[in-house]
């Protein structure tokens, strides 16, 4: 099936993901060479896997894969902590909990997606950020080659460093396609990870309040 995306070419793709190539023809040429080499390697991978019937529908698949990977990894090209710089002067003595933040990430060991929800709580000291900013931090770290444990800690550290709250706690529930669709093939297995900072490390009341809220 032909879609509009098929008319999008390598140079346009690079211009949208690497705006710095607009004024740097050497860099543009280098990245074009990279993309072409990846496309060739993907053709080889497809052949190795047994896909060798010259199906014209697959001609653009290597290009689509490169494009998808640039999207999966857009977090490398931003600083997620920057979202938290916008703070409000609000008196808030109790925790702020944002739950069920959906995310999609990519297992760095198998390049297989893992996805689920993140729940974030922080007990502000003086700085309160916008609720959508927490979701943007999750997105900025999820859109990279990741492991769930690191993702959980990076979100906690970003909030801890920029907002300097009294405490932070992050929980992530995710399904890993590398676990459910290959290897151990445990379709229903979910991984739950936690990261806590400050008051959330030892205050059992704060912890249980958070765990109850995200149930
Ligand atoms: Zn994996």
What are the pLDDT digits (tens) for 69-88?
A: 999 999 999 999 999 999 98
Bridge partners (DSSP) of residue 129 are: 87
Residue 189 lies in a domain: yes
Number of domains the chain is built from? 2
What is the CA(129)–ligand 1 centre distance, in A? 33
What would the mean pLDDT of 63-67 be, rounded to a whole number? 95
- How far, in Å, CA of 164 to CA of 186, rounded? 39
Looking at the fold, whether 61 and 89 belong to one and the same domain comes out as no
Distance CA 60, CA 8 (A): 10
User: What are the percentages of helix, strand and coil residues in the chain, rounded to 5?
Assistant: 55, 20, 25
| Residues 60 and 92 placed together within one structural domain of the fold | no
Residue ending a domain, among 49, 72, 95, is 72
Q: How far apart are CA 215 and CA 200, in angstroms?
A: 17
Clarify whether residues 38 and 94 are in a common domain.
no
In this prediction, residue 9 carries a pLDDT of: 87
- The beta strand positions in the chain, using DSSP E, are 87-88, 96-107, 113-123, 128-129, 145-146, 167-176, 191-198
What CATH number did the domain enclosing 201 receive? 3.30.1130.10
Q: Find the domain containing 33 and state its range.
A: 4-72
pLDDT in tens, 148-203: 999 999 999 999 999 999 999 999 999 999 888 777 677 778 999 999 999 999 99
Rounded Cα gap, residues 119 and 125, in angstroms = 20
- Establish whether 178 is a catalytic residue: yes
For residue 110, indicate whether it is catalytic. Answer: yes
Ligand 1 centroid vs 151 CA: distance in angstroms?
14
Element (H, E) at 206: helix 204-214
Q: Tell me how far apart the alpha carbons of residues 119 and 193 are, in angstroms, rounded to a whole number.
A: 10
Q: Is residue 173 part of a domain?
A: yes
Gap from CA of 92 to ligand 1 centroid (Å): 40
Tell whether 128 and 44 lie within a shared domain. no
């Amino acid at each position: 099936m032909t879609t509009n995306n098929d008319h999008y070419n390598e140079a346009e793709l690079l211009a949208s993901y690497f705006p710095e190539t607009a004024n740097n023809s050497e860099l543009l040429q280098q990245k074009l060479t990279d993309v072409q080499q990846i496309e060739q390697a993907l053709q080889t991978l497809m052949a190795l896997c047994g896909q060798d019937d010259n199906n014209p529908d697959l001609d653009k698949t290597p290009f689509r894969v490169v494009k998808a990977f640039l999207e999966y990894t857009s977090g490398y090209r931003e600083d997620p902590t920057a979202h938290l710089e916008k703070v409000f002067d609000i008196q808030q003595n109790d925790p702020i909990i944002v739950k069920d933040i959906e995310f999609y990430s990519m297992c760095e060991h198998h390049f297989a997606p893992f996805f689920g929800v993140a729940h974030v709580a922080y007990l502000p000291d003086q700085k309160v950020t916008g609720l959508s900013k927490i979701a943007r931090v999750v997105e900025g770290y999820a859109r990279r080659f990741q492991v769930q444990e690191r993702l959980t800690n990076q979100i906690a550290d970003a909030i801890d460093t920029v907002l300097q709250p009294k405490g932070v706690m992050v929980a992530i529930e995710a399904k890993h396609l590398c676990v459910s669709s290959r290897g151990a093939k445990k379709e229903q297995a979910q991984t739950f990870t936690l990261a806590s900072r400050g008051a959330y490390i030892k205050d059992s009341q704060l912890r249980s309040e958070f765990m109850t809220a995200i149930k």
